[in-house]
A and B are shown apart, each in its own frame.
Chain A
Amino acid sequence: MLAYRDGDAAAFDRLYDRHRGGVYRYLLRQCRNAALADELFQDVWMNLIRARGGYTVQAKFTTWLYRIAHNRLIDHFRRHDGAAVSLDDDTLPALDEPEAPRSAQPEAQAEARQQAARLLVLLDELPQEQREAFVLQQEGGLSVEDIAEATGVNRETAKSRLRYAIARLRRGMDS
């Protein structure tokens, strides 16, 4: 990011390639709407591009990036009264998951895919804060401290959210 701030356009490409999938899935899991995820995704990266001049190293870049994404999500939720946050909405699980060809589905892969689909369903059933903590851990590789910083809460809160999320997901997978 420092290189891009100093005018290296190729540095942005490297950053984008590294984080585009994680950020997109984070937004998609939170808003559960592909069109909305596209819009938010574009806004997040545009905000980053505009903020490049004032960028200083105060935290991990990943934490900073997901904080931008989190803030954009919060703005959206506030504007729309939490319309996207519907824990009882079962219409959006595995929204954009690509279908694998049938010929490439051995038994193990079929089992893994079933578990993945099941996990995504369970994930959508989680409270938004717990889901966010889990997705940040999975997509961004953030630690408890990083999750706390990205979401603007203290460490214990972030830790509690993450633990509850994992516990509920594990129970759902085992049942």
Chain B
Amino acid sequence: MNTQDKAQDKEMIRDPQLDAAYRAGAGAEPPQRLDDLIRAAARREVGSGPRPLASHRRWQMPLALAAVLVLSVGVVTTMREQGADQLDQPLPSSISSSGKTAGQNAAQPAAKAEALRQAEAPLPTTPAPAAAPAPEPPAAAVAKRYEVPAVAEAPAPAAPPPAQAPMMARSESAAVASTGAVAESRSTEAPAAAPRALMRAPASATADAARPGAPAVAMSAPPAPWQDLVGKPAEQWHQRILELRRAQRLSDAETVIAEFRRRFPDERLPEAGQP
């Protein structure tokens, strides 16, 4: 039965004349005493038996919202505390040893790439200061990413422990090369970066290469221009410096001068030998 059929039924089943006649005669009303009785009963029912359902329904939604809010805050706070504890505990040890945390795994490739980039960059010809500012260690970087104060437990850049991390190895190799401690380079994480740094380092950095027990890496390096002068008087050092300058081997001359100053700190260079 669709709407049109229902409308037709309504049309057929209604008679306006009958409706008017019925309305004209429909005057019967319930007596007043019944009205009063029923209204009183209705009020009594509402008043005597206050249904907790109504008040419950009134507060149901606000209470539910408040409960959800409290639960959410509690869960977030708990997760934050647990997450901070987890970041605080494993980060320093894992970074210094095997690097098993996700944060370190994410930081390692970036650190290696940075080490390679820094190693391939041309190093300054002048020796770098021993206390050059080392790059940020991975522990600090990871801690910054998670906003956890784990930097305090990370090794200090000024005194890095051996074989800390790729970034540390790069900085250490650079610093060692500039101070002539090439043989003591302990770079294990960036094996390609360390040799490049050694080859670009000044010749004087290999001063200790002739020492007994020096690593093979140092032995394979070309001999320094002052190696045959070791143990000779200062005049021969002067002569070598002048020869190198005349031959326009200024880099070698600088290397010999540096070594001369280290071996003869109280000797003066000849005027022509001054750089």
Interface residues of A (CB under 8 A from B): 4, 6-9, 12-13, 16, 20-21, 24-25, 28, 38, 41-42, 45-46, 49-50, 52-53, 94-98, 112-113, 115-120, 123, 137-139, 143-145, 155, 159, 162-163, 166, 169-170, 173
For the complex, give the distance between the alpha carbons of A15 and B51 in Å: 20
Provide the B21-36 mask, 1 if CB < 8 A to any CB of A, else 0. 1111111111100110
CB distance B21 to A116 under 8 Å? yes
Majority-rule SS of B interface residues: helix
Measured between C-beta atoms, what is the minimum distance from A106 to chain B in Å? Answer: 13
> Which residues of A are found within 8 Å of B27, using beta-carbon distances?
96-98
CB distance A169 to B18 under 8 Å? yes
CB distance A170 to B15 under 8 Å? yes
For the complex, give the distance between the alpha carbons of A19 and B93 in Å: 83
CB distance B9 to A50 under 8 Å? no
Provide the B11-52 mask, 1 if CB < 8 A to any CB of A, else 0. 011110111111111111111001101110111011100110
Provide the B82-125 mask, 1 if CB < 8 A to any CB of A, else 0. 00000000000000000000000000000000000000000000
B1 in contact (CB, < 8 A): yes
> Which residues of B are found within 8 Å of A155, using beta-carbon distances?
1
Interface residues of B (CB under 8 A from A): 1, 6, 9-10, 12-15, 17-31, 34-35, 37-39, 41-43, 45-47, 50-51, 53-54, 57
Contacts A4-B46, A159-B9 supplied; 20 other A-B pairs, CB < 8 Å:
A6-B54, A7-B50, A12-B43, A16-B42, A41-B34, A45-B42, A49-B38, A52-B45, A53-B53, A96-B27, A97-B25, A97-B27, A113-B24, A115-B24, A116-B26, A119-B18, A119-B25, A137-B13, A137-B14, A166-B14
> Which residues of B are found within 8 Å of A137, using beta-carbon distances?
13-14
Of all A-B residue pairs in the complex, the 10 with the closest CB atoms, nearest first, are A116-B25, A116-B24, A12-B42, A24-B30, A119-B21, A96-B28, A7-B54, A115-B21, A112-B24, A45-B38
CB nearest to B57 among chain A residues: A6
Measured between C-beta atoms, what is the minimum distance from A11 to chain B in Å? Answer: 9
Measured between C-beta atoms, what is the minimum distance from B189 to chain A in Å? Answer: 73
For the complex, give the distance between the alpha carbons of A41 and B33 in Å: 12
Residue from the set B27, B43, B47 with the largest chain A CB neighbour count within 10 Å = B27
> Which residues of A are found within 8 Å of B42, using beta-carbon distances?
4, 9, 12-13, 16, 45, 49
> Which residues of A are found within 8 Å of B18, using beta-carbon distances?
119, 166, 169-170, 173
CB distance A38 to B13 under 8 Å? no
A162-B13 in contact given A7-B46, A46-B38 (Cβ < 8 Å): yes
Q: What are 10 contact pairs spanning A and B, CB under 8 A? A: A7-B51, A9-B42, A13-B42, A49-B38, A96-B28, A97-B25, A119-B21, A123-B22, A169-B18, A170-B15
